[in-house]
Amino acid sequence: MSTKQKIQIPRGLKDVLPDEQKYWFWLENNFYSVASMAGFERIILPTFESTNLFKRSVGEFTDIVSKEMYVFKDKSGNSMALRPEGTAGVLRAYIEHGMHALPQPIKLFYWGPMFRYDRPQAGRFREFWQFGLEVLGDPNPLCDALVIQTVVKYHSKLGLKDVVVKINSLGTTKSRAKMISALTRFLSKHKKDLCANCQRRLKINPLRVLDCKTSKCRSITEETGTVLIDNLDEVSKKRFTKVLEYLDDMQINYELDPGLVRGLDYYTHTVYEVIVRGNKDLAIGGGGRYDGLIEQLGGPDVAGIGYAGGVERTINALKEQAVNIPNMIQSDVFVIQLGAKAKIKSIKVINDLDRVGLRVASSIGSIRAQLSEASKMNTPLTIIIGEQEVYDKNVILRDMKDRSQETILDRNLVKMVIKKLEEKGINVKPLSYD
């Protein structure tokens, strides 16, 4: 291969360019704020873990683990996998750091990239980002409703409309086994009409047949109707009713979906998916309860429930609904200088403004380039210093919104900038942590 050949981004990956950043900040900032207010704490986990972690949690026979995982051997010969989802790592950390010994529940949130070797198409990438919530150590049905409420609150804070939660129950592990046998009996009658993949799934993991997207299988699975829910045991039914009652009390827009099973093996009781209604319904996230999974991973018998939403899909939904995303104010004031002497003066000006805790931005380049950068940064005020201002011991202060300008003496500058910002409702306080 010629060394001059252009290297291109691998299939299914993407670059997030500067123009897109306002969406990413909007999602990330709002997620941190909604999750923190609801009592969740942030956890940062590795992007790859032992392959076994995902085999034992997500399930060896799920599409995610059997077909889509990026698996590699490290230099010691250990099998590692790029994480295809976030829950398994959170549970591993919960067990490893003895979090079960702390007052329960433990409420954690994460934000980061996930990897699945899936067929790329619109809205489906091989590296994509998820935001997630997990509550560990609370088996109460109210906990399910509270997690769903936090998720709904987040989407409404983002400005998304027509958000619906589709919900179902898979019951206890025992009840789930009964539901699976009923489903197997139903599907076996149509075995020859299922796709080859689903004929295999029917033997090893019949629930996954319900996820199949081929029209052949869909026409059969649509007929399953209430097979699952009819086989839900009484205790699970009662629990599910409670969850729905809480959601009613919270006035959450939900819809029962008796065919909803989700693509991972570990779910028990509540499973749900968040849909944005449009020309075509768009699934932007999902989650469910996974009582028993922590024990399965070698921890204590502790209940858990979570949610994972897709960043790219949520951004798509915001774009489709033309939601107006506010521009970020990254700095309070932008200093523009023209000429060698002005550059030297600008160093002192920047320093003076910096010391009172203002966010000061500056740049080198032509006046046009500097002005364009200032307006791109959405800076409320700009200070302009030319050679004349150096001799006159003043600067020009420009309001970027109404484009008015006035000349301010150097010694009054800091005071004047603070006053102007306060008039705009921007609170100027030295940066502090407590």
Cβ 314 to ligand AMP, closest distance in Å?
7
For residue 132, state whether it binds ligand AMP (rule: CB under 6 A): no
Question: What are residue 176's phi and psi, to 5 degrees?
Answer: -60, -40
The piece of 182-190, 305-313, 323-331, 411-419 that touches ligand AMP (CB under 6 A) is: 305-313
Is 294:95 a contact under the CB 8 Å cutoff? Answer: yes
Is 216:195 a contact under the CB 8 Å cutoff? Answer: yes
As a residue count, the chain comes to 434
Binding test (CB under 6 A) with ligand AMP, winner from 312, 346, 397, 417:
312
The two three-digit tokens of residue 94, written as one number: 């919960």
Whichever of 118 and 233 has its CB closer to ligand AMP, that residue is 118
Q: How many residues sit close enough to ligand AMP to count as binding (CB under 6 A)?
A: 18
The piece of 173-181, 295-303, 307-315, 348-356 that touches ligand AMP (CB under 6 A) is: 307-315
Binding test (CB under 6 A) with ligand AMP, winner from 139, 258, 263, 292:
263
For residue 128, state whether it binds ligand AMP (rule: CB under 6 A): yes
The piece of 27-35, 280-288, 353-361, 406-414 that touches ligand AMP (CB under 6 A) is: 280-288
Residues 7-26 that bind ligand AMP (CB under 6 A): none
Whichever of 24 and 242 has its CB closer to ligand AMP, that residue is 24
Question: What are residue 92's phi and psi, to 5 degrees?
Answer: -60, -45
Is 278:251 a contact under the CB 8 Å cutoff? Answer: no
What per-residue string of b and e applies to 108-139 under the rule 16 or more CB within 10 Å gives b? bbbbbebbbbbeeeeeebbbbbbbbbbbbbbb
Residues contacting residue 418 through CB under 8 Å, at least 6 positions apart: 356, 358, 428
For residue 285, state whether it binds ligand AMP (rule: CB under 6 A): yes
For residue 125, state whether it binds ligand AMP (rule: CB under 6 A): yes
Residues contacting residue 156 through CB under 8 Å, at least 6 positions apart: 163
Binding test (CB under 6 A) with ligand AMP, winner from 71, 180, 283, 414:
283
**Which has the closest alpha carbon to 417: 318, 368, 327, 350?**
350
Give the separation between CA 228 and CA 171, rounded to whole angstroms.
9
Binding test (CB under 6 A) with ligand AMP, winner from 141, 310, 380, 386:
310
For residue 286, state whether it binds ligand AMP (rule: CB under 6 A): yes
Whichever of 273 and 389 has its CB closer to ligand AMP, that residue is 273
Residues 54-93, one symbol each (x = binds ligand AMP by CB under 6 A, - = not), give -------------------------------x--------
Cβ 123 to ligand AMP, closest distance in Å?
6
Query: E-strand spans in 282-417?
Result: 282-289, 304-310, 333-337, 360-362, 381-385, 394-399, 405-409
Cβ 243 to ligand AMP, closest distance in Å?
19
**Residue ranges in 250-363 assigned as alpha helix (H):** 293-296, 311-320, 340-355
Binding test (CB under 6 A) with ligand AMP, winner from 155, 313, 398, 420:
313
CA gyration radius, the chain: 27
Binding test (CB under 6 A) with ligand AMP, winner from 62, 130, 231, 236:
130
DSSP state of 332: S
Whichever of 138 and 273 has its CB closer to ligand AMP, that residue is 273
**Which has the closest alpha carbon to 144: 265, 249, 288, 294?**
288
Residue nearest to ligand AMP (CB): 310
For residue 116, state whether it binds ligand AMP (rule: CB under 6 A): yes
Is 68:116 a contact under the CB 8 Å cutoff? Answer: yes
For residue 308, state whether it binds ligand AMP (rule: CB under 6 A): yes
For residue 112, state whether it binds ligand AMP (rule: CB under 6 A): no
**Which residues here bind ligand AMP, judged by CB under 6 A?**
85, 116, 118, 123-125, 128, 130, 263, 283-286, 308-310, 312-313
